[in-house]
Amino acid sequence: MSNPELCKGMKFPNGKVFRAALREYVVRKPVDIKFKLNEKTKVSIHCKYECGWRVYASQIAGELTFQIKTMVPTCTCRRTFKHRQVTSTYVARKYLDDFNKNHYWAISGVKHRVMQDVYVDLSINRVYRTKRKAREFILGDERLQYGKLRDYTEMIRVTNVGSKVILQTEITEPNTQPKFKRMYVRYNAQKVGFLEGCRPPVGLDGYHLKGKFGGHILSATVRDGNDNIFPIALGVVEQENNDSWVWFLQTFADDIGRPDELNLVFISDRQKGLIPAMEMLFPTIEHRFCVKYIYNNFKLNFKGLELKATLWKCATVTTVREFEKRMQDMKELDKEA
């Protein structure tokens, strides 16, 4: 559908699909068009300048299927950089992913991209309208998705027995709808797989959620027996702080099992609020820091590839004797280190 080639006899599942394919086709050719007939069951389109190019398509009786019955596929008109089918809605939909990734996509960037792809020169006003529409599509979609969370939660419980899903809402103002607060999701296979086939170091991490409503995602991840990354549980919280980490870790322990009984070791960067949360909930559980994080601090004072390599060797050896030997190597390189 991103680059359809139309011909006589071609069928489409319904009128909507036909219209979308037609639009994409005439934008790419390009043929600027006008509709002579635009009804639910039949469409007749001509070249805007009446050079002879035309398409007639209609619904097959008794079906939703649309078929091209007539097509004169050659437009001899001079090419321009305008095209009436390249509307703001069309551009917003076509580049929705890009708009979503880059909320600050510049006017000139959008103009350039459309010119490059379909040789249409959008007016500044049209780009403004496009950006506004893209924002509406993205926000509208996001809002609707939050509205589906309760059904989603219920669906997981029913169809994926053994899973754990917690959806927390809060009422921030009286007489208003409850608002999303936090969510915890762990599928059945994640717990079973973790307990039966994974190693005990559990990586904890937090990350910003991009998008209109913000928040943070918290995750607990391990390595399985093949050294592949294996996610155990996810949380979505209002922000990363002591309170949200306490909630996530407590929920995790209630759900998966006590970390001391499972002999777990936690590993993380210095996530905001995580260290006090760990100390409060699991004071006896070992908590390590990611070497990459340690190295980022280390390199501020101790520079050079050799020290870096030695630090990584210290971190990756598997016996106490080797570790002490590597630490000695490091001391010989730099006493302070």
Nearest-approach distance from CB 74 to Zn ion, in angstroms: 8
How many other C-beta atoms can be found within 10 angstroms of the C-beta atom of residue 85?
17
DSSP 84-128: TT--HHHHHHHTHHHHHH-TT--HHHHHHHHHHHH-----HHHHH
Among residues 39, 33, 40, the alpha carbon closest in space to that of 71 is found at 33
Nearest-approach distance from CB 19 to Zn ion, in angstroms: 20
C-beta closer to Zn ion: residue 49 or 312: 49
CB proximity list for 21: less than 8 A, separation 6 or greater: 1, 4, 6, 12
Give the pairing of strands 11-12 and 66-72.
antiparallel
Nearest-approach distance from CB 76 to Zn ion, in angstroms: 6
- Token pair for 3: 């680059």
C-beta closer to Zn ion: residue 77 or 166: 77
Residue 26 CB burial class (10 angstroms; 0-12, 13-18, ≥19): buried
Nearest-approach distance from CB 32 to Zn ion, in angstroms: 7
Q: How far apart are CA 324 and CA 333, in angstroms?
A: 14
Nearest-approach distance from CB 54 to Zn ion, in angstroms: 9
C-beta closer to Zn ion: residue 4 or 73: 73
Q: How far apart are CA 173 and CA 195, in angstroms?
A: 42
C-beta closer to Zn ion: residue 33 or 274: 33
Nearest-approach distance from CB 210 to Zn ion, in angstroms: 44
Among residues 146, 210, 155, 156, the alpha carbon closest in space to that of 182 is found at 146
- Token pair for 268: 């993380």
Residue 240, CB-side half-sphere exposure with 13 Å CA sphere: 17
C-beta closer to Zn ion: residue 49 or 323: 49
Whether the CB-CB separation of 267 and 202 falls below 8 Å is answered with yes
C-beta closer to Zn ion: residue 34 or 288: 34
3-state secondary structure of 46: strand
C-beta closer to Zn ion: residue 76 or 159: 76
Nearest-approach distance from CB 84 to Zn ion, in angstroms: 13
Among residues 22, 51, 53, 60, the alpha carbon closest in space to that of 38 is found at 22
Nearest-approach distance from CB 176 to Zn ion, in angstroms: 56
Nearest-approach distance from CB 120 to Zn ion, in angstroms: 16
Applying CB under 5 A, the residues found at the interface with Zn ion are: 47, 49, 51, 53, 75, 77
C-beta closer to Zn ion: residue 86 or 307: 86
C-beta closer to Zn ion: residue 45 or 183: 45
Q: How far apart are CA 82 and CA 331, in angstroms?
A: 70
